Amino acid sequence: MGRTSKDKRDVYYRLAKENGWRARSAFKLLQLDEEFQLFQGVTRAVDLCAAPGSWSQVLSQKIGGQGSGHVVAVDLQAMAPLPGVLQIQGDITQLSTAKEIIQHFEGCPADLVVCDGAPDVTGLHDVDEYMQAQLLLAALNIATHVLKPGGCFVAKIFRGRDVTLIYSQLRVFFSSVLCAKPRSSRNSSIEAFAVCQGYDPPAGFLPDLTKPLLDHSYDPDFNQLDGPTRIIVPFVTCGDLSSYDSDRSYPLDLEDGSEYKYTPPTQPPISPPYQEACTLKKKGRLAKEIRPQDCPISTVDSMPQ
Ligand code: SAM
């Protein structure tokens, strides 16, 4: 596969490079903002699960005008620096990371918390949905400590079997909860975004890091909410038919007449997990599978059974 084939198959990947975004995800946040005006009046924001940093790029460009905004970005992975963005490397489900984030907003709360976190997908849908829900709840827990009243929380959500339970929990804290699907998010993916506006915790609610928002023992009856307890939130698609369709392949010369020119990634990964394999391969030292038929007879004979 040539280096241009991904540009052809994934128009948002290509446009991200051409527009200087570190990842195609930038378009998801931009399309969510077009629909919900997320950045209006925002000067302080938290970007959870931020690497490689395209949402942080969008936030630092859009909020507070002329770089006066304050963005704190957090991820497990190291992220190349971005001007005006304070970075924390850590796991958002860990108490120590949560505390570090919260201390930046003491006395000066945030207007917006976003979380585009995704676990390493296993392909086992129940496990993936559960992991995703845990990330979202960890993000929500942090949001309850740093958001100002009326603030906004946007988080990636997998629209799986138990999603109504999550909507119910979000509705406890926000006056409006919607499920949004930006046009740049593939139809084939169960990913969507919970857009929660109007932070308004219940009277007397005291954020507490020692108590997770979700009791980890899933109660099967509570999990199957129905009747009056079942919350169905509105589903909104963001970006109209004039936006590119993320599930389509496009010819390399776009319809606006612009001529195709390959653009390298804006920010190559700084320490990708495959780096060691690449170095070994370059040195010709990448281990190859040893098949018995390739071994000299004497070695095969002495191999343990
Ligand atoms: N919004 C990002 C952007 O625009 O560049 C892309 C985020 S990427 C889809 C998902 C990120 O979630 C990964 O960088 C991953 O390291 C991070 N992540 C997953 N689990 C995490 C955790 N427990 N704590 C912090 N980050 C986590």
Shortest-distance Cα residue to atom 24 of ligand 1: 91
What pLDDT, on a 0 to 100 scale, did the predictor assign at position 177?
Answer: 96
The values of phi and psi at residue 176, to 5°, are: -135, 130
Q: Which of 33, 75, 121 to mutate to test the pocket of ligand 1 (most atoms within 8 A of CB)?
A: 75
Residues 175 and 10: their CA atoms lie apart, in Å, by: 36
Ligand 1 neighbour 135 (Cβ under 6 A):
yes
The DSSP secondary structure of 155-179, one letter per residue, reads: EEEE--TTHHHHHHHHHHHEEEEEE
Q: What is residue 49's three-state secondary structure?
A: coil
The catalytic residues are: 156
Ligand 1 neighbour 22 (Cβ under 6 A):
yes
Residues 151 and 110: their CA atoms lie apart, in Å, by: 7
Ligand 1 neighbour 50 (Cβ under 6 A):
yes
What does the longest C-alpha to C-alpha distance in the chain come to? Answer: 78
Ligand 1 center–CA 135 separation, angstroms: 10
End-to-end CA distance of the chain: 41
Q: Minimal CA–CA distance to 135: which of 45, 24, 214, 237?
A: 214
Q: Is 187 exposed, middle or buried (0-12, 13-18, 19+ CB in 10 A)?
A: exposed
Q: What is the pLDDT along the chain (305 residues), one digit of tens a residue?
A: 567 888 888 899 999 999 999 999 999 999 999 999 999 999 999 999 999 999 999 999 998 654 556 999 999 999 999 998 999 999 999 999 999 999 999 999 999 999 999 888 888 888 888 889 989 999 999 999 999 999 999 999 998 887 888 999 999 999 999 999 999 999 988 899 999 999 999 888 888 887 655 444 444 444 455 566 566 787 888 877 788 888 888 888 777 777 888 898 898 888 887 888 888 888 888 876 666 665 555 444 444 33
Ligand 1 neighbour 176 (Cβ under 6 A):
no
Ligand 1 neighbour 89 (Cβ under 6 A):
no
Q: Minimal CA–CA distance to 185: which of 39, 25, 38?
A: 25
- Hey, what are 36's tokens? 């919900």
ipTM score for this prediction = 0.99
Ligand 1 center–CA 180 separation, angstroms: 19
Shortest-distance Cα residue to atom 14 of ligand 1: 51
Closest atom of ligand 1 relative to the 116 alpha carbon: 1
Q: What is the pTM of this model?
A: 0.81
Q: Is 283 exposed, middle or buried (0-12, 13-18, 19+ CB in 10 A)?
A: exposed
Paired with 139 in beta bridges are none
